[in-house]
A and B are shown apart, each in its own frame.
Chain A
Amino acid sequence: MAISEQSAQVRSRPWNVSRNVLEEHLTALLCISPWLIGFLAFEIGPILTAFWLSLTKYNIIKPAKFIGLSNYQEMFTTDKLFWQSLKVSANYAAGSVVLGIVLGVGLALLLNQNVRGIAFYRTGFYLPAVVSGVAVAYMWILVLQQEGILNAMLGYIGIDGPNWLYTREWALPAFILMSLWQVGGGMVLYLAGLQGVPTELYEAASIDGAGRVAKFWNVTLPMISPVIFFNFIIGIIGSFQVFTGGFIITKGGPVDATMFYVLHLYFKAFESLRMGYGSALGVVLFAIIMALTYLAFRASNRLVYYEGRLR
């Protein structure tokens, strides 16, 4: 405790007392300004534009026409695909984020066992996180199609695999499976978190008679809970934005079983050329993500353990 207080003091010490404070603030402002301009031009500006467009009817060719809240009214009353796409994305988010955390932590625990050649395996586990997008979508078509390699392997153990991507009940689970393939991205962070857990804590737990399971629940899990929380937030935000896979592989089918929210938005905006309606969908997505993040942060106060919280 004494050490952390001391380092906190060092940190709060003025950067360089002898130099002119004003000049220093100007330098900082100068450094941050390009990013600030980008922030205004690519985040705040577009968000405000999206709010405005969501109140209009706009097909790019004719000028935007103000129509009040009717886009939102249509969304909540007559657009069945809105609810369907919301359901698809929510199911996908729940499945991929929860399973992704369990699997990611599990793999990190495996690699944390003082394994020889850890760098090699870590690279292997992380590989899928760097290859994504369109090419991977084609890869999955190859693996998951009816006569694909996965079903061939399932055949060896006597299971008659379904047509994963193109049957109504299996398409979404197949997408969750694809997301789990990329679990290594999160795993690297868990692994770093695990390696930061002080060994004294485990020794102390051993003296108190804790077994492996007790150590995991009472030491490991609380200590890496900030990393889990970080991945949870990023995962929820990311999974509501899934687009490429659905666009390439299924186009939302079969029977809208993989009509992800952003896919619906894209079709409305860029194929039906309804920019106003698409913007309204975007605004609602923004609200959903804000709400989920807010709830997650509220819950995190009770569930996540931060070391040196007093800071």
Chain B
Amino acid sequence: MRTYTPASVHKWMIARRRAERIALYITIVLVCVIIVFPLYWLVINALIPGREVFRYPPAFFPSSFRLDAYREIIELHPILTWLKNSIVVSAGTVALALILEIMGAYALSRHGWPGRGLLAMGLLSTQMIPSAVLVIPIFVIFRQAGLVDSHVGLITVDTALTVPVGVWILKGAFDTIPEEIADAAFADGCTEMGVLIRMLLPLSLPALVAVAVIAFFTAWDEFVFASVFIISQSLRVFSVGISTFIGEMATPVDLIFAAASIFVIAPLIFYAIVERYLLSGLSAGAVKG
């Protein structure tokens, strides 16, 4: 029968702990690979010659690359126009949404006015209204108002879709800033606008970045409104433009994947730049809320 001395038990525990950590890292890395792989695969398939796309078994590291698919898609299809339209709509949405969100969040967070709680509830409850319910009436209303088939119309809708979440996150960030800071500034003769611009906004930078990113992606990915509201070819945004490929059987698959990877990579670059702010800003608002 084996005896357990304190020393041997200690050794055994250390070994066990080390094994656990190794297992932990392997799991984490594996999950990361599984998550990133499909994106990698999309890009790779746009880079390899068309006939290799359906090769079985597939080549994880293709032997030869070519950029032809990207060149062809840009020459044959108005990809660049779509890209430009998407950027215009997304940037417009970010700008408009930020203004409205800052004003709304400031009012909800900083003033003890009556009816504030009720409005905050109303704000949250708009999240429950499915955009599918709104698309028909807004289309009908916009048609009367002549806002169909314009980027302005689309920007307004995208802004309306993103503002409730944005106000909520920003309000959470503003709430965490002690009122004493603002009080001190007022005592020094600072105006309310000055306090907002010089104190609140810099102090809630992560949350601002987070809501800007959310606004950007809301507009960038939005599909239903964009497909219904934009009629002219020249005004089409990327998400709708790219969806027309699937119907045209003549479009070679590697071209489709090239277009899709452009659509994915553009926001990824944006995400990579602001990632640090985004995640902390997001979680600050949500956990508090």
Are A227 and B287 interface neighbours, CB within 8 A? Answer: yes
Contact B107 A142, beta carbon cutoff 8 Å: no
Residue of B nearest to A234 (CB): B127
Number of residues from B at the complex interface, CB < 8 A: 91
Q: A39-B122, A46-B141, A149-B58 are in contact. Are A243 and B132 (CB under 8 A)?
A: yes
Of A73-81, A129-137, A158-166, A298-306, which stretch is located at the interface? A129-137
Q: How far is the CA of A106 from the CA of B285 in the complex (A)?
A: 22
Contact A46 B264 (CB under 8 A): no
Count contacts between A and B, CB distance < 8 Å. Answer: 251
Let me know if A142 and B42 touch, CB within 8 A: yes
Q: Are A285 and B133 in contact (CB under 8 A)?
A: yes
* A122 CB contacts on chain B under 8 angstroms: 279
Q: Which of B3-11, B24-32, B70-78, B197-205 contacts A (4 or more CB under 8 A)?
A: B24-32
Residues of chain B within 8 A (CB-CB) of A131 are 39, 264, 267-268
Bound complex: CA of A230 vs CA of B169, how far in Å? 13
Chain A residues whose CB sits within 8 angstroms of the CB of B159 once the complex forms: 38
User: Interface size (A, Cβ < 8 Å)?
Assistant: 93
Contact mask A276-311 → B, CB, 8 Å, 1/0? Answer: 001100110110011001000000000000000000
Interface of A is mostly: helix
B223 within 8 A of A: yes
Please, what's the 1-or-0 string for B249-289, where 1 marks a CB less than 8 Å from any CB in chain A?
00000001100110110011001000110010011101101
Task: Give complex CA distance A121, B246 in Å.
Answer: 34
Q: Does B137 contact A (CB under 8 A)?
A: yes
Please give, as numbers and ranges, the residues of chain A lying within 8 Å of B160 by CB-CB distance.
38, 41-43
Instruction: State which of A108-116, A199-207, A213-221 sits at the interface with chain B.
Output: A108-116
A41 to chain B, nearest CB (A): 8
Asked if B14 is at the interface of the complex by the 8 Å CB criterion, the answer is no
Interface centre among A39, A107, A110, A241 (most CB of B within 10 A): A39
A237 to B126, CA, bound (A): 11
7 pairs, A vs B, C-beta closer than 8 Å:
A47-B134, A111-B28, A124-B35, A134-B223, A138-B256, A244-B239, A282-B133
